Amino acid sequence: MDPSPADRTPDGAPDAVDLTMVIMAFDATDPEALQAILAKYVVLSRGHEGCRNIDLCLSATRPTRFVVVEKWDSPAAQRAHFDSPAMVEMANACDGKLTRKPSIDLLDAISAHDLI
């Protein structure tokens, strides 16, 4: 199905953005060690097929909470990444460095056009 005229840019190109996002929050027992693990994971994962971007953030209100924000081209790309060696290595390296299991949430983007 072709996008409607309202879903096009001024030059007439489709303005549809398909995006799958993952938010992972980690509460550290050893912040320095966890930061190194997550930084390595982010650098390695940015090169994976379908990855648009991955950011590593530190909470401004909880100094031992790290948040990883991932953006993927599709749910299939995101799922493939979750089974990747980089993800498995990161998960294993986090053993003993977290106060609890990480919080992981899968999000779908909502465009302004979806709200009209």
Q: Quote the pTM value.
A: 0.80
Q: What is the CA radius of gyration of the chain?
A: 17
Residue in the structure block whose two tokens are 């709200």: 115
For residue 97, what are the CA distances in angstroms to 47, 92, 94, 115?
26, 10, 5, 41
Give the CATH number of domain 17-108; options: 3.90.550.10, 3.30.70.100, 3.20.20.70, 3.20.20.30. Answer: 3.30.70.100
Question: For every one of its 116 residues, what pLDDT tens digit does the chain have, with 9 covering 90 and above?
Answer: 344 344 444 555 555 557 899 999 999 999 999 999 999 999 999 999 999 999 999 999 999 999 999 999 999 999 999 999 999 999 999 999 999 999 999 987 776 665 56
**34/36 Cα distance (integer angstroms):** 5
Domains of the chain, by residue range, sit at: 17-108
Report the largest interatomic distance among the alpha carbons of the chain, rounded to a whole angstrom. Answer: 53
| Structure tokens, 53 | 């971007």
Contacts of 53 (CB under 8 A, 6+ apart): 46, 70, 71
